Amino acid sequence: MIEFENVSITYDGADAPVLSHATVSIPEGELVLVVGRTGSGKTTFLRAINGLVPHFTGGTLSGRVTIDGRDTATHPPRELADLVGIVPQDPMSGFVTDTVEDEMAYGMECLGIEPEVMRRRVEETLDLLGLAELRNRALLSLSGGQRQRVAIGAVLTSHPKVLVLDEPTSALDPGAAEEVLAALQRLVHDLGITVVLAEHRLERVVQYADRMIVIPGAGEPLVFGTPADVMRLAPIAPPVVELGRLAGWSPLPLSVRDARRAAGPLRDLLIGRTPPLRVVDGAQSREELAATENLVVRYGTFTALRGVTTTVRRGEIIALMGRNGAGKSTLLSSLVGLRSTATGAVSTSGHDPRTLKPRELVHSVGLVPQDPGDLLEATSVADECRAADRDADAEAGTTRALLALLAPDVHDGTHPRDLSEGQRLLLALAVVLAARPPLLLLDEPTRGLDYPTKSRLVTILSDLADAGHGVVLATHDVELAAEVATRVMVIADGEIVADGPTSEVLISSPMFAPQVAKVLAPGPWLTVTDVASALDGEAV
C-alpha cells in the first residue's frame, strides 16, 4: 500500500538529510506505529506519505514514494486526498469549517462526491466514531478527545485507504486516548484501512500496533519490524516491557493483559516486600508555599473551579490529574494570579498573587505554560537567557548557567523555534527558574517529549524538590506521575475528588493507575524502579 524506495529528504538550507535512504513497504490493513526521538524526522516521514513533503514544505526528495501505485512526485497532496487522510498534531489547526457536520462533509465536497452519498457517509462516520450527539456543535466548543475524533472522521468520510496520524493522543487524558485508539482499531479491523501513526507514549499504543518503524534520526537506517522484535532491542520501552525484561519473561508482554498472565510468580515473590517510601523531609515539609481556600473561578456561565481548598508545601511534587477541561490549568493559572475574577483566597509565599506586580510575582511563583514556546520571544538562546536575567533582576549569566545544567546540548546561537520540543521546555524552565521562585508550576510538561527527555525531566524535578522547591505539575501522563510525584490530586468538574500520597491515589484508580500497578495489583507497586530496588538483584 505504502512504498518508500530509497527515500532521502533534505530541507532547503539544511546540511544533512532528515531521512536518508529509507526503504519501507507497508502492506494494506496494518496499524503501523512510527517512533523516534523528537526531531528525528517522524513528522517528515508522515507528511511524505501524502506528498506534503516536499510539495508543500519545499526541500528535495530523492527516491520514490508510491501510495497504492500513485507516485507522490507526480501527484500533489490534493490529488491524493481520496487515498490518504492525514490528521495533524493539533486537530484544531486543520479545521476549515465551524461545525462538526460541515467539517465531516468538507473533504467530500472538495472531491465532488454526490450529495446522497455524502449524506450517507456522514451518518455512517458519525456513528462509527460515536459523534452523533455532537453533530450540530461548534468545533471550538469540543473537548480535546472529541476534536481528535472529529478530525479523524473528517478525513474518513472521503474513504481513504490510508490514514496518517501525528501524535493523536499526546494532548489527551487517558480516557479520551482510549476512545481514540479504540476507534482506530475498529477502522483497521473492520474496514481494512492502513493506519500509520506517530506516538511518543508507547505505553498507550504499542499493544495495538502490527508493525513498528523506528526512525533513529541523524541519517541512520530505519528499523522496521513487529513490535515484539523491535521492543526486545529498543533502548526505549513502555513500563510493561521493562518489567518483562526485569522479570525475564519470554515472549515479552506488550499489553497489561499479557503481563498479568505472566506475572503470577513475580506477584508471589513481592508479597511481604514494600516499595521504597517517598517521604518529604519532615523539617522542610512544614513550610507552606501556596494555599487556596474556597477558590471559585467562573468563565461566563461556566464554573471552572468550585471551591478548591488546598496547600502546597516545600519539597513536594504534586501531580494534578483529571480529564481534559476538569480545571487543572485554571488552578495553576489562579496560583499565578491570572484569574482576577476568582473569588476565595489564594496566597503564594504569603501574598495574594493577583495583587503582585509581574516583577514581584516571578520571585514567588513560576509557571511553565502548556506551550513553553509562549514564554520565549528572543531570536537566539543567548539573547533569551540575557533577557531572562534582566526580567528576574538576576546576576548576568544566571539563566545560561541554569540552562547548561538542565540541557547541556543547547547552543547559544540557535533560534528557540529550532530547538526540539524537549529543549524548548528546558529553556523555558531555565528562564522561569532564573528568578528562583520557591514554587514551580508546570502545565502538561511531557506533551510531545520522548522517553530520554522525560527521564531527564524526572531527575531535574526530583532535584528541585530536594533543593526545597515545591512543584505542581498538571499532567495526563500517569507514568510520569507514578515516577516523580509525592502527592497526587485528582480534579473532576472543578472539584478535588482525591488528594493523597501517590501510591494511595494512583493504585486505587482504574483510570490513573500506571501499567506496573495494573500488572501487580493488588500490590502497592508503581514503577519498574520500585520493583527492581525491592527485589535488590534477586532473580525472579
Partner 1 sequence: MSDQRFALGAAAIPRWLHPGAWWAWALGLAAAASRTTNPLLLILIVCCAAIVVSARKPDAPWARSFAFFLRLGVVIIVVRVLAQILFGASLGTTVILDAPGISLPDWFAGVRLGGEITLESLLFALFDGMRLATIIACVGAANSLASPSRLLKSVPAALYEVGVSVVVALTFAPQLVSDISRVRTARRLRGRTTHGVRAIAGSTVPVFEGALERSVLLAAAMDSRGYGRTAGITPSARKLASAFLLSGLVAACIGTYAMVAAGSPAVLGLPLLAAGILVSILGITMAARRSVRTRYRPDPWWLAEWLVATAGLCAAAVFVWAAWSHLIGIDTPTDPAQWPLLPLAPVLSLAIACTPAITAPRLPKSLRPVHAREKAAIA
Could you tell me which stretch among 141-149, 318-326, 357-365, 477-485 binds partner 1 (CB under 8 A)? Answer: 357-365
**Does 392 engage in binding with partner 1 (CB under 8 A)?**
yes
Strands (DSSP E) found in 13-135: 19-26, 31-35, 60-67, 70-71, 84-87
**Does 118 engage in binding with partner 1 (CB under 8 A)?**
yes
Q: How far apart are CA 102 and CA 21, in angstroms?
A: 41
Q: Tell me which of 336, 439, 471, 489 binds partner 1, using CB under 8 A.
A: 336
Helix axes 144-156 and 115-128, enclosed angle (nearest 10): 140
- State the minimum distance, in angstroms, from the CB of residue 472 to partner 1: 14
Measured CA to CA in angstroms, residue 119 lies from 116, 128, 131, 493 at distances of 5, 14, 15, 36
Instruction: Give the number of residues in contact with partner 1, rule: CB under 8 A.
Output: 66
**Does 296 engage in binding with partner 1 (CB under 8 A)?**
no
Q: How far apart are CA 50 and CA 80, in angstroms?
A: 6
- State the minimum distance, in angstroms, from the CB of residue 532 to partner 1: 38
Q: Tell me which of 36, 59, 88, 514 binds partner 1, using CB under 8 A.
A: 88
Measured CA to CA in angstroms, residue 2 lies from 50, 83, 132, 342 at distances of 10, 11, 32, 53
Question: Which CB atom, from 109 or from 493, has the smaller least distance to partner 1?
Answer: 109
**Strand pairing class (288-299; 343-348):** antiparallel
**Does 12 engage in binding with partner 1 (CB under 8 A)?**
no
Q: Tell me which of 35, 234, 361, 472 binds partner 1, using CB under 8 A.
A: 361
**Does 10 engage in binding with partner 1 (CB under 8 A)?**
no
Measured CA to CA in angstroms, residue 403 lies from 59, 237, 430 at distances of 32, 28, 5
- State the minimum distance, in angstroms, from the CB of residue 104 to partner 1: 8
Q: Tell me which of 12, 15, 16, 114 binds partner 1, using CB under 8 A.
A: 114
**Does 133 engage in binding with partner 1 (CB under 8 A)?**
no
Contact 477, 322 (CB under 8 A): no
**Residue of 301, 296, 298, 304 whose CA lies nearest to 343:** 296
Rounded to a whole number, what is the distance in angstroms from the first to the last CA of the chain?
44
Q: Tell me which of 102, 123, 258, 493 binds partner 1, using CB under 8 A.
A: 102
**Does 435 engage in binding with partner 1 (CB under 8 A)?**
yes
**Does 195 engage in binding with partner 1 (CB under 8 A)?**
no
Q: Tell me which of 5, 28, 71, 98 binds partner 1, using CB under 8 A.
A: 98
Question: Which CB atom, from 264 or from 358, has the smaller least distance to partner 1?
Answer: 358
**Does 154 engage in binding with partner 1 (CB under 8 A)?**
yes
Contact 160, 85 (CB under 8 A): yes
Q: How far apart are CA 170 and CA 89, in angstroms?
A: 8
**Does 340 engage in binding with partner 1 (CB under 8 A)?**
no
**Does 367 engage in binding with partner 1 (CB under 8 A)?**
yes
Q: Tell me which of 100, 155, 230, 482 binds partner 1, using CB under 8 A.
A: 155
Q: Tell me which of 13, 16, 74, 93 binds partner 1, using CB under 8 A.
A: 93
Lookup: cell for 23? 526503504
- State the minimum distance, in angstroms, from the CB of residue 232 to partner 1: 36
Q: Tell me which of 6, 60, 119, 468 binds partner 1, using CB under 8 A.
A: 119
Contact 111, 81 (CB under 8 A): yes
Contact 37, 450 (CB under 8 A): yes
Question: Which CB atom, from 59 or from 88, has the smaller least distance to partner 1?
Answer: 88
Q: Tell me which of 84, 326, 385, 419 binds partner 1, using CB under 8 A.
A: 84
- State the minimum distance, in angstroms, from the CB of residue 338 to partner 1: 6
Could you tell me which stretch among 219-227, 236-244, 362-370, 504-512 binds partner 1 (CB under 8 A)? Answer: 362-370
Question: Which CB atom, from 101 or from 229, has the smaller least distance to partner 1?
Answer: 101
Strands (DSSP E) found in 170-255: 194-198, 211-214, 223-225
Question: Which CB atom, from 287 or from 377, has the smaller least distance to partner 1?
Answer: 377
Report which residue type is found at 472.
V
**Does 412 engage in binding with partner 1 (CB under 8 A)?**
no
**Does 4 engage in binding with partner 1 (CB under 8 A)?**
no
**Does 136 engage in binding with partner 1 (CB under 8 A)?**
yes
Contact 518, 257 (CB under 8 A): no
Lookup: cell for 270? 513481592
* 279-282-287 Cα angle (round to 5): 115
Question: Which CB atom, from 435 or from 485, has the smaller least distance to partner 1?
Answer: 435
Handedness of CA 524, 530, 533, 539 (dihedral sign): positive
- State the minimum distance, in angstroms, from the CB of residue 294 to partner 1: 24
**Residue of 86, 88, 60 whose CA lies nearest to 73:** 60
Query: Per residue in 242-280, is it b (16+ CB within 10 Å) or e — as a string?
Result: bbbeebebeebbbbbebbbebbeebeebbeebebeebeb
| Contact set with partner 1 (CB under 8 A) | 50, 52, 55-56, 76-82, 84-86, 88, 90, 93-99, 101-102, 105-115, 118-119, 122, 136, 140, 154-155, 158, 333, 336-338, 357-359, 361-362, 366-367, 369, 371, 374-375, 377, 388, 391-392, 431-432, 435
